[in-house]
Structure 1
Amino acid sequence: MTPTLAERSSGMHRTRRVGVGRAHAKVVLLGEHAVVYGAPALALPVPQLPVTATAGRSSRAADDPDGVTFTATGSAPPPVVGPAWDGLRRLAAEYRAATGVPQDLRLDVVLDGSIPAGRGLGSSAAHARAVVLALVDLFGGEVTANVVDGLVQAAETATHGRSSGVDAQAVGASAPLRFRDGRAQELSVGCDGLVVVADSGVVGRTKDAVELLAGVFRHRAGARESFVDRASRLTDEAGRALAAGAPEEFGARLTDYHGLLSSAGLSTTRIDTMVEAALTAGSLGAKLTGGGLGGCVIALTRPEHARQVVRRLHDSGAVRIWAVPLRGSGGHAC
């Protein structure tokens, strides 16, 4: 008879001393903000910004009332206080409830991450997914992808409030995704190219951006419908351009979407400067990515133009830059 998760957790069928889980960053190509109102979104995994979680049983009392002690390390560890940490604690509690892990079993979880927080790169979701997968690996048993996604989404809701679910799935994806109404499917990509991701060095203020946009919608008749309709059309056009192998058209939709976000007040002077620098250097399109009011810029670039695009982005204020193939799982830092 196959042991239950509770039996594994209690040591009756102890098969592992340590569990390991991994996830990675992501960028939203198009669809920010509108996706929570039912519009589609396109997302690209960024596998060269990984997160690894290691979970093991602890013989000492946990500092946290949920019985889990978290330790952060790596080149870009998450903050040990605040909403993201609260989200991880909630995740641990919900994992116990969903799988029957005994409440008196103490755990140590070490997070080794390279995703800068607050940049629209999915840091909180990636850490949450890595933790869930580490716990699954530690205790064994059958846990479906839907359960994993649901646990990550619960942590995201605790961290950000209303959340579309894009990050929860994209940080575990191996290919670009089209996301709508809680469902994701692999995006057809018929052309090559690099998506250059440039960190402005300014923490994005997603909550403030959401509230700002909601205020615009409240005080301007028809503003929400117009925003969502325009976002949906640009995202659908971009998806068709990718499938058809038309990078110039796809790039143009990126730039158009930046205009939509900027006109709603979600960009900043530095972000706009970086977008213009990327376009001037030969990018096919560029935009902010994520919630806005800081964070990162993405630029679609032909490989032969990447060096000059990277140089101009650095000159315009970027503090870190990565280049991600539009299709394929590789990538390198610039």
Structure 2
Amino acid sequence: MQQRPAELSVLIPPNSAKELSKSHRARSVGIGRAHAKAILLGEHAVVYGAPALALPIPQLTATASAGWSPHSPDGPRDMSLTMTGSASRPMVTQASESLRRLTAEFRATTGVSDRLHLDMIIDCAIPPGRGLGSSAACARAVVLALADLFDRQVSRTTVFDLVQTAENVTHGRASGVDAMAVGAAAPLLFRAGETQELPVGCEGLFIIADSGVEGRTKDAVSLLREGFLRHPGSQESFVRKASQLTDEARHLLAAGRPEEFGSRLTDYHALLRTAGLSIDRIDMLVEAALAAGGLGAKMTGGGMGGCIIALTRSWQASEVTRKLHEAGAVQTWVLPLRGLADDAS
């Protein structure tokens, strides 16, 4: 049973400076933050070398607090984890394993030799299993909290590598898109491990709708891989089509052609649905967004549940949102394109 915040033990620094590494003095508490993300196009294909487009979702955040525990380590474990927000018990168990691995890697990478027990508290407003980067955001927040706690300067590359350590435990083979996007200030083009800011020349709104069904990324990845093995040539066809749609979409987004950009979103959803990666609830939300006047809509993330993302003109957003809730969306969020364009400039 999770502790309520009021029941958490007070975080205190070690009693003796001798317990700290000689070259650094640690703070009593370190804080780190990250945010959610959404994939516009490129899911799954990005693992096979195709490009992907990703958006930051700044209103959904994860904050980590790292401090010293007054208790001794319990056997080989040297970190305690408490998660607040909507995390389920299985998610906390899974996160505990990946973040413990991340913490050990952080110590090794940054030369922290102290073996003092740590208390890690994560407050995550990003719903898990929805393709919004919850696990990557928590991991990034933890890396930054540890860097703050131990007074270490960590490069962008080091942060990425450490987040990937946790993501590979959580999801298996992680593409790296989430690890990059949860720290981005602007939309990104991700290709072959490299990123660049994505120009946005359109006006309108992205609406993200939560189906209420937890996605199963590992199952979706396995399903797609098995399909590729059963049907020779299908992997090349899938990656080629995904790359074409993604490349076209990024140019249309930059050129200010929202209707054509929206059609690429819908076409990409059809590609994922044909591969068996969607579910009825997701398809219903996509159809509801389009029927209400949306310019395009698709699932976002690993699939088998999770969220959809729809593009709409600003004056149609209320109707699209209403229809999404009528079709079963449990919550929605809005990202204005103008704001994204300003951030990217």
1:10 Cα offset (Å): 3.0
| Distance in structure 2 (CA, Å) of the matches to 1:12 and 1:259 | 56
The 5 Å alignment of 1:288-307 reads 288-307=299-318
Q: Is residue 129 of structure 2 the alignment partner of residue 118 of structure 1? A: yes
Contact kept? 1:28, 1:42, Cα under 8 Å: yes
Q: Is residue 195 of structure 2 the alignment partner of residue 184 of structure 1? A: yes
1:171 Cα offset (Å): 0.4
Q: Is residue 236 of structure 2 the alignment partner of residue 242 of structure 1? A: no
Q: Note closer, same or farther for the CA distance 1:9–1:121 as it changes in structure 2 (3 Å cut).
A: farther
Q: 1:69 aligns with which of 49, 66, 80?
A: 80
1:103 Cα offset (Å): 4.3
Contact kept? 1:43, 1:177, Cα under 8 Å: yes
Instruction: Please state whether the residue corresponding to 2:339 is helix, strand or coil.
Output: coil
Q: Which runs of 5+ in 1 are unaligned?
A: 1-5
Task: Indicate the residue corresponding to 1:38 in structure 2.
Answer: 49
Task: Indicate the residue corresponding to 1:202 in structure 2.
Answer: 213
- TM-score scaled by structure 2? 0.90
1:138 Cα offset (Å): 1.2
Q: 2:60 aligns with which of 38, 41, 49?
A: 49
1:79 Cα offset (Å): 4.6
Task: Indicate the residue corresponding to 2:327 in structure 1.
Answer: 316
| Distance in structure 2 (CA, Å) of the matches to 1:112 and 1:44 | 21
Contact kept? 2:212, 2:329, Cα under 8 Å: yes
1:84 Cα offset (Å): 3.0
Runs of 4+ displaced beyond 2 Å? 6-16, 62-66, 74-85, 326-330
Task: Indicate the residue corresponding to 1:262 in structure 2.
Answer: 273
How many residues end up aligned between the 2 structures? 325
Task: Indicate the residue corresponding to 1:253 in structure 2.
Answer: 264
Q: 1:175 aligns with which of 169, 174, 186?
A: 186
Instruction: Please state whether the residue corresponding to 1:253 is helix, strand or coil.
Output: helix
Q: 1:90 aligns with which of 90, 101, 112?
A: 101
1:102 Cα offset (Å): 2.1
Deviations 1:134-164 (A, max 9, x none): 0111111321110011000111001111110
Instruction: Please state whether the residue corresponding to 2:128 is helix, strand or coil.
Output: coil
Instruction: Give the letter aligned to residue 68 of structure 1.
Output: M
1:14 Cα offset (Å): 2.8
Task: Indicate the residue corresponding to 1:166 in structure 2.
Answer: 177
Task: Indicate the residue corresponding to 2:115 in structure 1.
Answer: 104
Instruction: Please state whether the residue corresponding to 1:328 is helix, strand or coil.
Output: helix
Contact kept? 2:19, 2:114, Cα under 8 Å: no
Q: % of aligned pairs identical?
A: 63
Contact kept? 2:187, 2:340, Cα under 8 Å: no
